[in-house]
Structure 1
Amino acid sequence: MTEPSGASSDKPRRPVVVPAVALVAFTAVGITALLGGLSEAPDEPEPLGQGAVLDQGLYSTKFVESRVTVERAKTQFEEDKRFVELVFDVTNQGDKTFPVGLPAQKVEQAFALDGFAASLLNINPAFDKAAGPFAFAQAKGNESRQLQPGVTSQVIVRYRLKDDEQPPDRITMDVASFEEERQFGSNDLAWKMVAKEMGDKWIPEIKARVTLTVKKGDAA
């Protein structure tokens, strides 16, 4: 039987040209699939700055400013004290009183706390342990360690500077949020910091990353 014209197996095949862009795209898709897909890529925290307002669930927080302040000596035997302060307007959105609290020394310790300042994670640059922090609220001219429900208070978190220590130009902090969860074995709801279980620890999720420029004025 005569072989059809043009069908000879001896004829060299014409190479197929694949555009470089297609190869790059294919490789990228393959790597993405290998790493678990686009949907599983971690989201970057929301970047915020001075004046921003963040709904933390339990608290509504305005990031007012960061500043250097001086506490003047009361006697000739004392010395002036300088502080870097973080200033917030915080509204307790719960139905009971919560503490102002303090930032936790370790991130994994914050999960068990419900005070406002415990939600301030990874404060950078880090201050020496001897610097504090100290935290209190001011409402209607009074200083307090508590946040009353439905009331907006100015919360100040401060770190003391050493005599020869220069304040940072800016401070960045990761901020967590809270959600209501049912108590184990009960129908009662309680506010808990939003966190993920990692091994034998619960690590708070970062809802926002806030950067504040430190106002130095004449106090630096």
Structure 2
Amino acid sequence: MTEPSGGSENKHRRPVVVPAVALTAFTALGITALLGGLGEAPEAPDPLGPGAVLDQGRFDTKFVESRVRVEKAKSRWEDDKRFVELVFDVTNKGNETAMVGLPPARPDQATLTSFAGSLVKITPAFPEDAGPFTYALSKGGETRQLHPGVTSQVIVRYKLKDNEQPPEKMTMDVAAFEFASTFNNVTPEWKMISKEAGDKVVPEIKARVTLPVKKGDAS
């Protein structure tokens, strides 16, 4: 009996060649799927530098500079004090007086409506005993209030230890505010724009600001 016509089942099959570009594309798609799909990657905050002005909703904020400031000793028994300062020109656009406030110790604690409360993260971090110390400058001296329609210079400062060198730069993650009602209060009020992150509520970062530290002859 003769064998049926056609190729033998024992013939070797040709290998399929997949271009490297295709493999790269498949890999990228796989990683994207693991991360939650296309279009869902978090947007990077706007990068800003010295002199930039940011609309924070409740405030218009100009990031003036970061610098080393020396306070001379008032007597020979005291030592000079050195600080790293962040300097802002802040305009309160609301109808009520706002507080200068303090930067939060952690992002999930940034729930206040103060200006400095919107400085969600400041890098590098300083020890607790170094500050921060905050105030605004007015004609009568220092104040902790920001009046409606008024532009005030705000200082956020950290004390340097003896022989401690100041950082090369300071970076801030900055949040914004919105005037809106809440579930518990139908009367609109200023609140920080936030989002859920796991079981916590954290501020949305609108801008990342980097200021080189001006040392002069104070370092």
TM-score where L is the length of structure 1: 0.88
Residue 159 of structure 1 aligns with which residue? 158
Alignment CA distance shift 1:16-1:184 (3 Å): closer
Contact 2:104 2:121 in 1 (8 A): no
Q: Shift of residue 108 of structure 1?
A: 1.3
Summarize deviations over 1:96-117 as a string: whole Å, max 9, x none. 1100001112221112x11111
Report 1:1-220 matches (<5 A).
Answer: 8=6, 10=8, 16-111=16-111, 113-140=112-139, 142-220=141-219
Deviates more, 1:61-70 or 1:11-20: 11-20
Alignment CA distance shift 1:34-1:165 (3 Å): closer
In the alignment, residue 138 of structure 1 is paired with which amino acid?
L
Summarize deviations over 1:48-73 as a string: whole Å, max 9, x none. 11111111111111110000111112
Summarize deviations over 1:64-85 as a string: whole Å, max 9, x none. 0000111112223322211110
Alignment CA distance shift 1:15-1:163 (3 Å): closer
Gaps of 5+ in 1: 1-6
Alignment CA distance shift 1:40-1:130 (3 Å): same
- SS of alignment partner, residue 39 of structure 2: helix
Q: Report sequence identity in percent.
A: 66
Contact 1:139 1:152 in 2 (8 A): no
RMSD: 2.0
Aligned residues: 213
Q: Shift of residue 185 of structure 1?
A: 4.4
Deviates more, 1:13-22 or 1:148-157: 13-22
Q: Whole-Å Cα distance in 2 between the matches of residues 198 and 15 of structure 1?
A: 48
Q: Whole-Å Cα distance in 2 between the matches of residues 158 and 34 of structure 1?
A: 42
In the alignment, residue 92 of structure 2 is paired with which amino acid?
N
Contact 2:64 2:87 in 1 (8 A): yes
Deviates more, 1:30-39 or 1:114-123: 30-39
